[in-house]
Amino acid sequence: MIERLTDQSFLGPSQSPDRDAFFMLPWLQASKREYDRAESVTESVKLKAHHPLHQGWDAQSGRWWRAPHTQEQQKITDVLYRSRTVFLFSKVGLSEHVCLHSCSGNGASAWLSAIPLSGWLCFPPAVYRVALHIRLGLPIPEMRRVGVFVCGSSLNPRGHHAQKCPNGGGVHWRHEQVKGALTQILRGLRHTHVLEETTFGHLEVATDSRLTEERNKPVDIFASLSNGDTLLADVSVTFPIFSDASRLRTRSKTAGAAAKMKSEGKVRKYAVSARAVGLRFVLLVFETFGHPDRETVSFVKELVSVASSRAEFSTEGELMAVQARLIDRY
């Protein structure tokens, strides 16, 4: 924040920012105009009692001024984002609600940055545009007639069928890509043993006589961590938009609702078997648009702690910096 004020040429690096000068900053003036616009467009929308738009610009900006100077611009951005999100959600249907929830949050839509823009792997502009429209569930203006998917079904303009149909290979490919990424993270940890695509029988664990049939149950990842923890992990990638109206309505209410519903079903399938053989079961669920389940985020943070515990740091600041870089990378 001090650097931004210094760039405006009215403040020396050793001085405290002046309140009037702060509120005259061009980007803050632009934020005020956007805040006023957000207030006007959400007049007909019912906001929560603690929503920042209830407090007005003067009260809200005064609170930002009193906050630590490294946080003002982020707080303003967060409030404007929440305001525009409320307005946007009030204008779209249930399917669009699910798309917006699934594309928001930490890590969601990070796959966009992984698409190559040059070299022999790059997409032509028209193909890239259509691919993004299908991936984000948007209408495809280039499609003049309804296409046919490999299974023979009509391809709906928003591409929802392509995200769910196993015949095209897309569902399997997404699952394998996510599993491969998580396996690579585990193998990057020191003193960690990792197996892929194994079964309870292959692990030669003692199973209860009532669970004899569980010996052939497949497990995506088996890992023995350096901290002594041994776990079984199952990877799932779920498409958040559902044809059933009741499920779609449930998934449209909160971010990550589709991943949570998928987690509950997988836990019922695997948790009893894993507990019976004395192993910890970890479920790693992602939605198609990139939103991870809460347990997945917790597991990645746990891996960061395991990775950082293997190194020695002279200060706590160095430890925090390394953990932040690892979380950002994973």
Strands 193-199 and 154-155: unpaired
Instruction: Give 144's DSSP letter.
Output: -
Q: What is the pLDDT of residue 299?
A: 86
What is residue 186's three-state secondary structure?
Answer: helix
Give the residue from 84, 39, 83 showing the smallest Cα distance to 57.
Answer: 39
Most confident of 60-64, 120-124, 269-273: 269-273
Q: What stretch of H or E contains 175?
A: helix 170-187
- The two counts, helices (H) then strands (E), for the chain are 13, 6
The Cα 198–Cα 317 span in angstroms is 40
The Cα 176–Cα 292 span in angstroms is 16
Q: Global pTM?
A: 0.54
Half-sphere exposure of 160 (CA within 13 A, CB side): 12
- Tokens read off for 300: 């990645």
Q: What is the pLDDT of residue 69?
A: 53
What is residue 237's three-state secondary structure?
Answer: strand
At residue 17, does pLDDT exceed 60? Answer: no
Going from the C-alpha of 52 to that of each of 73, 81, 141, the distances in angstroms are 15, 11, 37
Region 71-83: mean pLDDT is: 63
Distance of CA 101 to the CA centre of its chain: 9
**What ranges do the domains of the chain cover?**
2-91, 123-166, 169-329
- In this predicted model, which residue has the larger pLDDT, 77 or 195? 195
Q: Residue 259, by phi and psi: left (phi above 0), alpha (psi -120 to 50) or beta?
A: alpha
Q: What is the pLDDT of residue 45?
A: 65
What is residue 136's three-state secondary structure?
Answer: coil
Provide the b/e sequence for 36-67 (b: ≥16 CB within 10 Å).
Answer: eebeebbeeeeeeeeebbeeeeeebbeebeee
DSSP per residue, 25-85: -HHHHHHHHHHHHHHHHTTTSPPPTT-GGGTHHHHHHHHHHHS-TTTHHHHHHHHHHHHHH
At residue 142, does pLDDT exceed 60? Answer: no
User: 285-297, pLDDT tens digit by residue?
Assistant: 888 877 788 888 8
Confidence of residue 36 (pLDDT cuts 50, 70, 90): confident
Fill in the amino acid letter for 172: H
Give the residue from 146, 164, 165 showing the smallest Cα distance to 156.
Answer: 146
At residue 213, does pLDDT exceed 70? Answer: no
Cα torsion through 249, 251, 252, 255, rounded to 10: 160
Phi first, then psi, for residue 69 (nearest 5°) are: -65, -15
Most confident of 33-47, 72-86, 223-237: 223-237
Number of other residues whose CB lies within 10 A of the CB of residue 316: 8
Nearby residues of 241 by Cβ (< 8 Å), 6 or more positions away:
95, 98, 99, 137, 160, 163, 248, 251
User: 175-202, pLDDT tens digit by residue?
Assistant: 888 888 888 888 877 778 888 887 776 7
